[in-house]
Structure 1
């Protein structure tokens, strides 16, 4: 019988705690079991294996990011929406660097993550539609936007910008560069 209070969602909550504190590579069934006070085999009542648990964690991260981006872009359009999307992306990655690192690079190609990844993509495409980009042009723009945001935040959280100049100023320049580029693509 499953332990009272333990459910797949509760297991994911504990797994996120492990990820937050120790990084995604530290996520093991043993680490989660130790925090829940059960033996590792007891977790199999809630998740099939470590692969499924990692997938559930990734889905939760995608959902959190989608919520954060959706909240940021709500009621905005055009340049303002792009800037809000970029700020929300960066804020999530900086505030939750280990969770961000737990997000797989190609969620749309993973059946377990396709729905959550699709919702995140839908939010980005809605912003781009407000910039006059649709169809194939919007997909190309979304890829460029993601590459720019992801590259910046990965370098930032890893301490890859060693010079003393202000990172917020650099990110605003990246935003302006992306917005100007999107205007030319529309």
Structure 2
């Protein structure tokens, strides 16, 4: 493949595909150079190195998922919004396991602030406004939802649910029912409690 066709965007797309094929941890500049049939050194005019490449994959994944979640949430509120958000998140993780793993990459604060990661938090907060949660409960609920979604999806994609008698989908739906119930009945903070 001609070197002239390489761009940072094209390399990011290819690295994202590679992450889904071989795992995010196995995405390297050398592996990407092999994919394009070029010398590794030629990659450095488009990317700064392995960390830059992995950061680009993470940022692209955040943007892709944010767009999917935004589409899923359009016109929904309450439990319907919660289920749509969770479904988009789970489907993305299952379809794009390497990209999903990329979103766990620790970003420096400046890069994180410029990324679509903030859109995820804002969309989650929009769902929670439908449950009449305010701060600090909203932050606690954002963390709870992220933990439950990530935990369930991580166990599911690792095959942890394959040898159990109950269908995974049934457990997923019950989990969403339980989350909706918790959010509707959120324990109100004791005004006398200390932070």
TM-score range normalised by the length of the shorter chain: over 0.9
TM-score by length of 1: 0.93
- 2:85 paired residue number: 85
Say whether the 8 Å CA contact 1:131–1:183 is kept in structure 2: yes
Unaligned runs of 5+ in 1: none
CA offset at residue 99 of structure 1? 1.5
Contact kept? 2:93, 2:153, Cα under 8 Å: yes
TM-score under structure 2 length normalisation: 0.89
Runs of at least 4 residues of structure 1 off by over 4 A?
A: none
1:41-60 → structure 2 map (5 Å cutoff): 41-60=41-60
2 CA distance for matches of 1:6 and 1:146? Answer: 36
Counterparts of 2:133 and 2:106, CA distance in 1: 22
Supply the distance in 2 between the matched residues of 1:31 and 1:121 (Cα, whole angstroms). 33
* Gap change, CA 1:97 and 1:5, over 3 Å in 2: same
SS at match of 1:62: helix
- Of stretches 128-137 and 33-42 in structure 1, the one that deviates more from structure 2 is 128-137
C-alpha distance in 2 between matches for 1:105 and 1:73: 25
List alignment gaps of at least 5 residues for structure 2: 189-195
2:154 corresponds to which residue?
A: 154
Aligned pair count reads 184
Q: Which has the larger radius of gyration?
A: 2
Moved more, 109-118 or 82-91: 109-118
Q: Corresponding residue for 1:120?
A: 120
